[in-house]
Amino acid sequence: NAGVTQTPKFRVLKTGQSMTLLCAQDMNHEYMYWYRQDPGMGLRLIHYSVGEGTTAKGEVPDGYNVSRLKKQNFLLGLESAAPSQTSVYFCASSTGDRAPFFGPGTRLTVL
């Protein structure tokens, strides 16, 4: 039982490049979330999903897209990376009535 896994762990991009972050959970959770964590700030929700095939915007969705084609996977895409997207990205999942279970994070640097 791996919980929530994220791929990759680290990535360096140049401005304008694109990439996809993959999140996978093996707990059969309905809800999945993508957060970003920046120094001196609390976790901020980017997008979330309440079930397979559904997605919704969070607090800071601009510049990101997501997809939830399978219940266990939640993908976060950056179409044209900007330095302001340098951050640590956390995926989380939950049953909806329990606190989110977080993954280990992806550290992204955009040059």
Select the residue interacting with other proteins from 76, 103, 108, 110 (CB under 8 A). 103
Q: What are phi and psi of 31, to 5 degrees?
A: -95, 135
- For residue 100, say if its preceding peptide bond is cis, omega within 30 degrees of 0: no
Q: What are phi and psi of 92, to 5 degrees?
A: -145, 160
Q: Which positions from 52 through 91 interact with other proteins, judged by CB under 8 A?
A: 56, 58, 90
Q: Is 25 near other proteins (CB under 8 A)?
A: no
Positions that interact with other proteins (CB under 8 A): 4, 31, 33, 40-45, 48, 50, 56, 58, 90, 92, 94, 96, 99-105
